[in-house]
Amino acid sequence: MSVTLTRWLPGLFLTAALPMLAQAAAETAPAEGPAYGPELQGFQYPYTLKHFAFESQGQKLQMGYMDVAANGKANGRTVVLMHGKNFCAATWDSSIKALTDAGYRVIAPDQIGFCTSSKPDHYQYSFQQLATNTQQLLKALGIQKATLLGHSTGGMLATRYALLFPEQVDQLAMVNPIGLEDWKALGVPYRTVDQWYERELKVTAKGIREYERTTYYDGRWKPEFDRWVDMLAGLSKGPGKVPVARNSALIYDMIFTQPVYYEFKDLKMPTLLLIGTSDTTAIGKDLAPPEVKAKIGRYDVLGKEVAKLIPQSTLVEFPGMGHAPQMEEPAKFHQALIGWLGKTPSAP
């Protein structure tokens, strides 16, 4: 019957078949996921989101942040959380709970160019600038000294902050920080801002998930990670797609061209390295020739090497874990972190 209809009555066949085809496509196609505003409007944060308004480089900007009080007996100390490139302050949700339950006040900002914060039309990105922005936020909140906890790119930022404002940092902790090596010096080709921009315009949830699964988690995946994929993908496909991509490109250029590797030796405060050893993150690795690709992003090696460069360092490794052990195995991670924070003397 279908052959006959196709041959003799194509219009009738298509009219009858279209509703069935549409239904079948809807049932088999993966959901595209949500789209969010340019400052992540529509995405739910785990604690009250506040905004810090300030001026930088002649522009009026705002930083989204969470300020969460200690739960129960406060110990009088503050921990500032610095998120990674493919993360937001919201991804610290389990760490905020663990730290506030342990008596700490927690400040978790979104840096300019990320997540719930401004995406300026023109901005000269540097880790010094982002550190200064954060320092202004803490000053406005009346915080004179804090412990820093930086993850991924946030580890590079926390390092720069600790070098710029050493007298304001009690302790420094870093979770799988990138920048434990200088990729450009090791032979990774340079990707221009324009090339990064074109790449960022093509971001999809599928691409993000596959990259994180293979690079961050050694081929593993947990369903709870999907929320964070939707967060990034939704930001990139929302109405702010162009400024999000533009700012992301500038930030990638900052990461690649502004290493902190050579200054680890100058850190003056007690420093904790929390390293998931299965992580293979390295910016520009996809462009690297095979002989370079084989030797970069080796966190099982990098953690040990960098621990030797930092004067007052403690290394805690999580064998078999990936780029975000605080999300992969929260209980084990927070036991190590809070144990170290409690027993390690603060910087004088």
Answer yes or no: is pLDDT of 19 > 60.
no
Q: What is the pTM of this model?
A: 0.90
CATH of the domain at 317: 3.40.50.1820
Both 6 and 76 in a single domain?
no
Q: Which tens digits make up the pLDDT trace of 133-180?
A: 999 999 999 999 999 999 999 999 999 999 999 999 999 999 999 999
Is 63 domain-assigned?
Answer: yes
Do 296 and 319 share a domain, yes or no?
yes
The answer to whether residues 13 and 82 belong to one domain is no
Same structural domain for residues 301 and 162?
Answer: yes
Per-residue pLDDT tens over the stretch 206-249: 999 999 999 999 899 999 999 999 999 999 999 999 999 999 99
In a domain, 122, yes or no: yes
pLDDT at 348: 58
Residue 73 inside a domain? The answer is yes
Is residue 61 situated within a structural domain? yes
Whether residues 127 and 2 fall in one domain: no
pLDDT at 126 over 90: yes
178 with 298, same domain?
yes
Question: What is the span of the domain harbouring residue 11?
Answer: 1-30
Do 267 and 233 share a structural domain?
Answer: yes
Q: Do 11 and 151 belong to one domain? A: no
**How many distinct structural domains can be found in the chain?**
2
Evaluate whether residue 348 is within a structural domain.
no
Backbone angles phi, psi at 184, to 5 degrees: -65, -35
How many C-beta neighbours within 10 Å does residue 144 have? 9
Same domain, 282 and 223: yes
What mean pLDDT is predicted for residues 61-71?
98
Give the CA angle between residues 284, 194, 121 to the nearest 5°: 115
Query: Looking at the domain assignment, is residue 262 inside a domain?
Result: yes
Closest CA to 318 of 176, 179, 186: 176
